[in-house]
Amino acid sequence: MHEIGMTQNILNTALKYAQKTNARKVVTIVLRLGALRDIKKEWITHYFQYISRGTPAEGAEILVLADPIVCHCHDCDKDFEINRDQYSGEDILCPYCSKQNYTLIAGTKFQIEGVEVI
Ligand SMILES: [Zn+2]
């Protein structure tokens, strides 16, 4: 249930931003979420509605931008995208050179991309 803690962080950040900019209300919060993060958008939205009650962020819309999972191949020096199902499997091969010598370079991000206030 780490969504609760994350959602609390999102709320705190949005409220801090609203305070800093003398805004009355938080309208939208944009999140960037790597495809490998096991976080359900529905849960974040649900918790957010609950914990933001009575704050300037009440009723804010949460937009989630999904980041793809990207690997970097050390043999041919190319980057390639994989999907989540492939990642849970064992054998990910580089689509360019068919080697298995890669590092994950994207897909685990979780960050607040933007906060819109009025
Ligand atoms: Zn390769």
Give 92 Cα–ligand 1 centroid separation in angstroms.
11
CATH code assigned to 2-67+106-117: 3.30.2320.50
Give 91 Cα–ligand 1 centroid separation in angstroms.
14
Give 75 Cα–ligand 1 centroid separation in angstroms.
5
Q: Which of 114, 89, 91, 87 is nearest to 10 (CA)?
A: 114
pTM confidence score: 0.82
Give 104 Cα–ligand 1 centroid separation in angstroms.
13
User: What are the extents of the domains in the chain?
Assistant: 2-67+106-117, 69-104
Residue 110 predicted with pLDDT over 80: yes
pLDDT score, position 37: 87
Longest dimension (CA), the chain: 56
Confidence grade of residue 1 (pLDDT, cut at 50, 70, 90) = low
Give 16 Cα–ligand 1 centroid separation in angstroms.
44
